[in-house]
Amino acid sequence: MSSMNEMVSRPEKEGRKITLVEALREALQEEMRRDERVILLGEDIGVSGGFGGAFTVTLGLAEEFGHHRVIDTPITEAGIAGVATGAALGGLRPVADVQYGDFLFLAMDQLANHAAKLRYMSGGKLRVPLVMRAPVGATTRGAQHAQSLEAFFMHVPGLKVACPSNPYDAKGLLKTAIRLDDPVIFFEHKLLYGSKGSRKEAGGIEVFGTVPQEEYLIPFGEAKVVRSGQAVTLVANLLMVHRAMQAAKNLAAAGIEAEVIDVRTLVPFDWSTLFESVSKTGKLVIVEEDNLTGGWGAEVAARTADRCIGYLQAPIRRVAAPDTPVPFAPIMENFYVPSVERIVTAVTDLM
CA angle (200 as vertex; 194, 206 as ends), nearest 5: 25
Q: Are 143 and 321 in contact (CB under 8 A)?
A: no
Single out the residue of 106, 102, 51, 61 nearest to residue 82, CA to CA: 106
Per-position b or e across 84-114, b if 16+ CB within 10 A of its CB: bbbbbbeebbbbbbbbbbbbbebbeebbbeb
Distance CA 76, CA 43 (A): 9
- 158 Rama sector, left if φ>0, alpha if ψ -120 to 50, beta otherwise: left
Q: Are 166 and 194 in contact (CB under 8 A)?
A: no
Strand 184-189, strand 160-162: pairing: parallel
- 145 is annotated as an active-site residue: yes
Residue 268: asked if its preceding bond is cis (omega within 30°), the reply is: yes
Q: Which of 67, 114, 145, 242 is the catalytic position?
A: 145
16: β partners:
211
Give the count of alpha carbons within 13 A of 223, CB side only. Answer: 26
Q: Which residues have a catalytic role annotated?
A: 145
